[in-house]
């Protein structure tokens, strides 16, 4: 594995702000070993669902081959799951990545692109029926804060992405690095991936 790992975050209009910048904040605590770059539709600013505009580092057409991919959720995922050109690009670009991850309804996008076939996965519990309708042979796990299945990691809604990010830092490096990243941002993460009160709150278990 390379000394410096790279997380390529896929941006699209209507992405959820915390899905991206919660994990990115934690990843930045390991800036000597973990680099974050942002991939947009083109070179123009990409607007989040909250209205914040982000200038991508690369347009999709010129994006370097990824190491770790992160696809956020957000209202924009509703359009992406029906965007054949985008799904074809994502499947080709991300298919050989060392890790493919998602936050919230980003897992619906991964499933629609065929990147979760044969994997266990989870998603946002308030969007569960819609998200879990995608993919042909995905084993959707309702009661999970996040699911790590081999080279696919998916998290539940929004803030759960930060818990997954802490766990991912621990998997990439060690538990001390994960603990230190959380302490530096004064974040108290959920460390049990199976602890998911939101599944029950939304009548899924």
**Cα separation of 103 and 173, whole Å?**
21
Over residues 1-35, the pLDDT tens digits come to 568 999 999 999 999 999 999 999 999 999 999 99
What's the predicted TM-score (pTM) here? Answer: 0.97
111-143 pLDDT tens trace: 999 999 999 999 999 999 999 999 999 999 999
CA 196 to chain centroid: 18
- The burial class, CB within 10 Å (0-12 / 13-18 / 19+), for 122 is buried
Instruction: Quote the CA–CA distance of 188 and 194 in Å, as a whole number.
Output: 16
What are phi and psi for residue 102, nearest 5 degrees?
-150, 160
Residue 170: count of CB within 10 angstroms of its CB: 18
CB of 22 closer than 8 Å to CB of 164: no
């Amino acid at each position: 594995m390379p000394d410096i790992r790279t997380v390529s975050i896929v941006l699209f209009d209507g992405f959820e702000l915390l899905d991206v910048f919660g994990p990115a904040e934690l990843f930045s605590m390991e800036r000597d070993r973990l680099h974050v770059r942002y991939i947009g539709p083109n070179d123009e600013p990409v607007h989040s669902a909250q209205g914040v505009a982000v200038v991508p580092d690369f347009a999709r057409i010129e994006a370097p081959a990824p190491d770790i991919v992160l696809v956020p959720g957000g209202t924009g995922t509703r359009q992406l799951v029906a965007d054949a050109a985008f799904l074809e690009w994502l499947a080709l670009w991300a298919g050989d990545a060392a890790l493919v991850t998602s936050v919230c309804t980003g897992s619906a996008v991964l499933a629609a692109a065929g990147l979760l076939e044969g994997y266990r996965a989870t998603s946002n519990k308030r969007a569960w029926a819609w998200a879990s309708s995608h993919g042909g042979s995905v084993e959707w796990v309702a009661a999970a804060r996040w699911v790590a299945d081999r080279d696919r990691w998916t998290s539940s809604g929004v803030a759960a992405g930060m818990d997954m990010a802490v766990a991912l830092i621990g998997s990439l490096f060690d538990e001390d690095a994960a603990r230190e990243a959380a302490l530096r941002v004064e974040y108290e993460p959920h460390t049990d991936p199976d602890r998911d009160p939101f599944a029950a709150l939304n009548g899924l278990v």
